[in-house]
Structure 1
Amino acid sequence: MSHPFEAVIRAAGAVIDPPFARNLYAPVLEQSPQGGTVERDLSYGSHARHKLDVYRPLGEAPQDGFPVLIFLHGGGFLRGDKAERENFGRYFSRNGVLSIVPNYRLAPEVQWPAGAQDASSVFAWARENIARHGGNPAHIVIAGESAGAAHVAAATLIQRFQPSGGVHPAGVALVSGVYNAGLELRAREQFGIATPDPRNEAYFGADLSRHAAMSTVDLIDAAPLPTFISYAELDPPQMQVQSGELFARLVTRHGYHPYIHVVRGHNHLTQVYAVNTGDDSLSAALLKFVRDLDS
């Protein structure tokens, strides 16, 4: 099913162009539904970026509390802010899902595995505190896009990055993430990645010989849990390849049964800016994944 901006997005191609995506959707997002109430800048740690926003649905919570979605923004490990993903908080809260949208520490100030540690800390905060906000601590899905998906994947699929007592989310959702730093290093020419790579070298470090050892796909040791993997039809090749690789490894080596979803007619960024605009190309599938965990 097509969406209003599909033709212009297809004409732009498989680009990662923040101003293009932001400017395309800004007028629509300004008019988008607001959903429930928001509590901003709650602290989950000691760093200035250890802040999160909680979007609570309107009305009385169910007996066990609202289902919960944590969503980590992207930004190539170097940038990004929770304010840019307010549309996720608005969309999911108005559809009965309490939503947490955090910031996390960025490269080059911090390097691997800081993002995974921050994702784990957000989950630990939610497990400890979300009941008082009306959420169900037994029904927390942790999700992210792009760099945020990389951090969530490491935090949930690698046991040593899980918080005390384990992560044990109800589910994990990974949108157009990067999961194999060693592959991106070896296939820079094929993927059109610059040398030096400002993104990966800032986060995984200047010692390129260590990048492969930081690849989530080679470190998976967590027990299977419900997993949603998606990528955009017009994602750059490295996101499509790594989503497929992660799916294949989870299925063939680790006993997972992940859901895989292709976001038609969108590129890496337009798919996330489209959330809460009436274009449900990504959000409908993600919402269904969160809700189906009750069944």
Structure 2
Amino acid sequence: MIHTDPHTVARLDALIRATGAVIDPPLIKSWYAPYRENQPTAGVEVRRDVVYGDNERHRLDVYLPTEASATPRPLLVFVHGGGFIRGDKRERANVGLRFARAGFVTVVPGYRLGPAHQWPAGAQDVASAWAWAFANAHALGADPVRIYVAGESAGAAHVAAATLIGELRPPRLPAPRAALLISGVYNVQLEKLARRQFGTPSPDPRNDAYFGSNFARYPAMSIVERIDVAPFPLLITWAELDPPQMQVQAGELFARLTTRHGFDPDLAVIKGHNHLSQLEAINTVDDVLPNALLDYMKRT
């Protein structure tokens, strides 16, 4: 639980609402930087840069609760965002700390980025990190049948691809206990066709870098067109002030899963936040997003 001066919460809420549905990492990070410096760390052991593959970005950080537990703990794999072309696992140390403080062994992996590594490199790396977590669960004091896989933004897209597209799933690995998709994008073809409506520049510096410029291939790289696995528990969230493309694609993914593939996913709107503030607030200012995730994981 985070206890913050209500004046701080009110000031940040005013900034978030005045700024609106924009994605501006330097700006949003600057709001939360003072609180990141003083965030709670007690009760957590951190193991950094554990190797899970051959690439220099195939490293993960593990956040372990130090309090003794009589039973194996649940395990959360959490994948950072960054528009497919940037981002680093250290930027989500606050997530690792917060969920370890809540009793979860938490694994935060890095993964390969575009344009040097294009689709499906990110999803393949998430699958490898998930497989590493499964193989090492017992050694980490975790339960291999209670592994949750979550991601935000581009990380949510990679998690969705790794869990919902059969050929990208790790071989001989059971479905996750649940997948949690936070403000992701799941239809690259739609993003190409709706650049005007979504206010996306052309060329698109994110999608063109990761998915390439052969737009005829975009349907085959769109998660909503590739779902082919048996249903498992899944939560789809978006921020109240997310850009339109995140909200539209969350709805489309929910509809496809529900009407065509037999899933029964849950939905959650993260009130009072934009695309980035919902993540930056974790373990610093408020618990809106982690409470939604924890509530869901405790029910599945």
Q: TM-score range by the shorter chain?
A: over 0.9
Q: Name 2:278's counterpart in structure 1.
A: 271
Q: Secondary structure at the residue paired with 2:49? A: strand
Q: Name 1:100's counterpart in structure 2.
A: 107
Alpha carbon RMSD of aligned pairs, Å? 1.3
Q: Which letter does structure 2 place at the counterpart of 1:86? A: A
**Counterparts of 2:222 and 2:69, CA distance in 1:** 40
Name stretches of at least 5 consecutive residues in structure 1 with no aligned partner. none
Q: Give the C-alpha shift of residue 107 in structure 1.
A: 0.3
1:85, 1:101 within 8 Å by CA — same for their partners in 2?
A: yes
Q: Percent identity?
A: 54
Q: Name 1:189's counterpart in structure 2.
A: 196
- TM-score (normalised: structure 2): 0.95
Q: Name 1:31's counterpart in structure 2.
A: 38
Q: Which letter does structure 2 place at the counterpart of 1:274? A: A
CA displacement 1:23-61 (0-9 Å, x = unmatched): 111111211111410000001100000000000012113
Q: Secondary structure at the residue paired with 2:288? A: coil
Q: Name 2:56's counterpart in structure 1.
A: 48
Q: Name 2:136's counterpart in structure 1.
A: 129
1:158, 1:216 within 8 Å by CA — same for their partners in 2?
A: yes
Name stretches of at least 5 consecutive residues in structure 2 with no aligned partner. 1-5
1:167-178 equivalence runs, <5 A = 167-178=174-185
**Counterparts of 1:14 and 1:90, CA distance in 2:** 27
**Counterparts of 2:28 and 2:100, CA distance in 1:** 23
CA displacement 1:194-253 (0-9 Å, x = unmatched): 100110011111111211221000110111111010001111100000011101111111
Q: Which runs of 4+ in 1 moved over 3 A?
A: 1-4
- TM-score (normalised: structure 1): 0.96
1:231, 1:262 within 8 Å by CA — same for their partners in 2?
A: yes
Q: Name 1:260's counterpart in structure 2.
A: 267
Q: How many residues align?
A: 292
**Counterparts of 1:96 and 1:12, CA distance in 2:** 34
**Counterparts of 1:278 and 1:106, CA distance in 2:** 30
Q: Name 2:235's counterpart in structure 1.
A: 228
Q: Name 1:218's counterpart in structure 2.
A: 225
Pairing partner for 2:158 from 151, 156, 172: 151
Q: 2:187 matched to 1:180? A: yes
Q: Name 1:13's counterpart in structure 2.
A: 20
